[in-house]
Amino acid sequence: MVEQVNATQQAIIALRAEKQRLLAQGGRARDLAKQLAISEAEYVALGGEDPVRAVNQEDFGALLLSLAEVGEVMALTRNDAMVLEHHGLYRFEQTQGRLWRLHQANWSLVLDLSVWKLGFCVSEAGRLSAQFFDASGEAVHKIYCTDNTDSQKWAAMVAKFSHPLTSSDWPQVTPRVLGAIPHQAALLDVDALRLDWRLLAHQDNIDSLLARYKVTPPQAFRHLHDGVMQMARESLQALLEAVSAQALAVEMEVCNAGVCQRHQGVVQRLLTTGPWFNVLDEGVNLHARLADIETAWLINKPFERGQALILACFDRYHRPIISVKPYPASAYVERNGNPWYALVANLPALNKRVA
C-alpha cells in the first residue's frame, strides 16, 4: 500500500511539472487536461503556485447560496465546443430538489446538482474561482471573481466551505466512454414518429418524444419532413452575424450534463480568433469552436403556444452543444414585415426543402 501511495505521489509530481510546461504555452484547462490524458478535475487538483482547496459535495448548495453575499461574479458553463460566460449576481429563485434555478435580467441558469460530484476553490495566478465537476471529472460549472466581487466575503466563503486538498481528496473519476451512436433505422417506426411529431403540441416535450422512440435528435430529424431542415455547419455563425447586424434579440443556450446557461438579448461585437468564433459583449461572452459542430438543424414548427424557430447544433456524438432562437419567442409569430423570415430564408442549408 505504501508503495502504491508513493507511486501515485510521484505520478502527481510528474503531472504537476508537465502542467506547468503546458501552461507556459497557453490554452484552456479542458484542452490541456486532454494533452495530459487526465480529466479536467484531476488537472485542477494538480494546483499550481497556489494550493487548491476541496469542497465537500454536501456543501455545494450552501456555497452556492453564500454567493449572494459576494456581489458580482462571472458564471461559466461549457461543453467541448461552446463556452458561455455572464457577469452577474447569484440569487436563486428555486433551490428545492435537484434542480436549482436562477434568472437575471439577460441570463439564466438551471443547475442539476445531482450531477455535481467534485468541487474545488482555486487560485490561478491570482484569479479566484469555484469549480465543479461531474463523476467523469468533466467541468459542469465555474464561478470566477471579477473586479466587482467583494474579495473579503469571497475569502470568508472559501474558508467556510472548503479545506486544503489532501491525498484523500484526490479526484476519483469514472471516465466517460463516448463511442459510435447506435443506428436505429432498422427498428424505428418512421411513420409513427412523423405522425407524433406533427401532433406534438408543446415544444418542451420534444426530448421526451425522442426518448420514447430511443433516438437522438439528429437521428430523428433526418426522418422528419415537417418543420425540420438540416443546415450547413456555418449556419450558427451566419445566424449570429445576421442578428448582430439587425440588432435582433436572441436566446442562446449552452448545456452540459449538469447545467444549462442561457443568454437573452442582442449580440454585438463578433470576432474570430484562431478556431474560436466569439461574441465579446459587455457582461456576456460566447466562445464557439465551430469545427466541433457535426450537424445543425433548423426547427421551424407550429406549437400550441405559437410558431417556434430554433437552430440546434450537435457534436459527432449527437450531444447538443448550442441552440439559438428569437427572443422573446413571440418575436417570430407575426409574419408581416418580420425580419426573422428573410433571415431564416438566407441561412446556409444543406438542401432547399421548405421546413
Residues 133 and 236 in one domain: no
Q: Spell out the per-residue pLDDT of the chain, length 355, in tens.
A: 323 333 477 777 778 777 777 766 777 788 888 888 888 999 898 887 788 999 999 999 999 999 999 999 999 999 999 999 999 999 998 887 889 999 998 999 999 999 999 999 999 888 999 999 999 999 999 999 999 999 999 999 999 999 998 877 788 898 887 766 666 656 789 999 999 999 999 988 999 999 999 999 999 999 998 899 999 999 999 999 999 999 999 999 999 999 999 999 999 999 999 999 999 999 999 999 999 999 999 999 888 888 889 999 999 999 999 999 999 877 776 677 788 888 988 999 886 544 3
What pLDDT was estimated at residue 76? 98
In a domain, residue 275? The reply is: no
Q: Residue 129 and residue 141: Cα distance in Å, rounded?
A: 10
Structural domain of residue 24, as residue ranges? 2-169
The pTM for the full model equals 0.91
The one-letter code for the residue type at 98 is: R
Task: Provide the CATH number for the domain around residue 72.
Answer: 3.40.1570.10
Residues 248 and 328 in one domain: yes
Looking at 108, 136, 169, which one is the last position of a domain?
A: 169
Looking at 138, 169, 200, which one is the last position of a domain?
A: 169
Kindly state the helix (H) or strand (E) to which residue 298 belongs, with its residue range: strand 295-303
Residues 45 and 157 in one domain: yes
In a domain, residue 37? The reply is: yes
Q: Residue 337 and residue 297: Cα distance in Å, rounded?
A: 25
